[in-house]
Amino acid sequence: MLIDTKTLAQHLDDPSWVVFDCRHDLMDLAKGERLYREGHIPGAHFANLDVDLSGEKNGHNGRHPLPSPAALIAFLARHGVTHQSTVVAYDDVGGQFASRLWWLCRWVGLDKVALLDGGISKWIAEQRALSNVVPRPRVAALSGLANPMMVISAEELLPRLPGTETGRGCVLVDARPAERFRGEVEPIDPVAGHIPGAVNRFYKENLNADLTFKTKDELRQSFADMLGQVPPTQVVQQCGSGVTACANIFAMEYAGLPGSTLYAGSWSEWISDPARPIKLGAEP
């Protein structure tokens, strides 16, 4: 699930490895592609969060709705991905955006998918080569079906919220920074706060200072402290728009705790219906 920089460097000329640059900035939507064109890991393709890794917005499905499986598979196939490929995704923020590509690949049945540990920041710190050459796509044949068990809708989540009779044993984890979770600031969405009953785990709690992932044992203990006896299959992950939540899903699976579900619409979808409950402040 994690590839170090040395291993990736050894496979840059391996046609069975397909690398994606997933850099993005939620406040500067053109920044990711701009950085990519200035310099990226040689051979890497650019994956645009808003274009390639998200579907069409309708005002009620959040800021980054899931792409259709067909559109996602077509995007991957255009860049040479097959079921035999090793797909590696990276960004410059510890996997916040790269984990979305990782999760989407798993969603449509691709198993050989990994994140670059430390991302391009570690690659650059080690003075490894960059390129501004956009690689020519290698179109491949690819098929797959989305796994419906990996996602949950707002309608399915509402009666399962912690504190309700049917929600007992379910833990809803919000990956946003604590100040956004509490509703003290909200730089992106029109309503501040969080879904009642959620617990907050900022995705960067999974990382060391250099944006590499903590050890499996450290992550496993940290999640155990948060979840108690609740099994991973009873965990629902969310964030602002279903992107950063994938980083917590990745961290749990890397720690040997697979099976949590993504609420893909997340906060930005939740607040599109004023009838859904919200909460400000910290949970008790």
- Of 22, 105, 170, 239, which residue is the catalytic one? 239
- The CA–CA distances, whole Å, from 49 to 3, 6, 53, 175 equal 21, 26, 5, 18
Between the two ends of the chain, the Cα-to-Cα distance in Å is: 35
Could you confirm whether 239 is annotated as catalytic?
yes
Rounded-to-integer distance, Cα 182 and Cα 169, Å: 23
Most distant CA pair in the chain, distance: 56
Rounded-to-integer distance, Cα 120 and Cα 219, Å: 22
Active site residues: 239
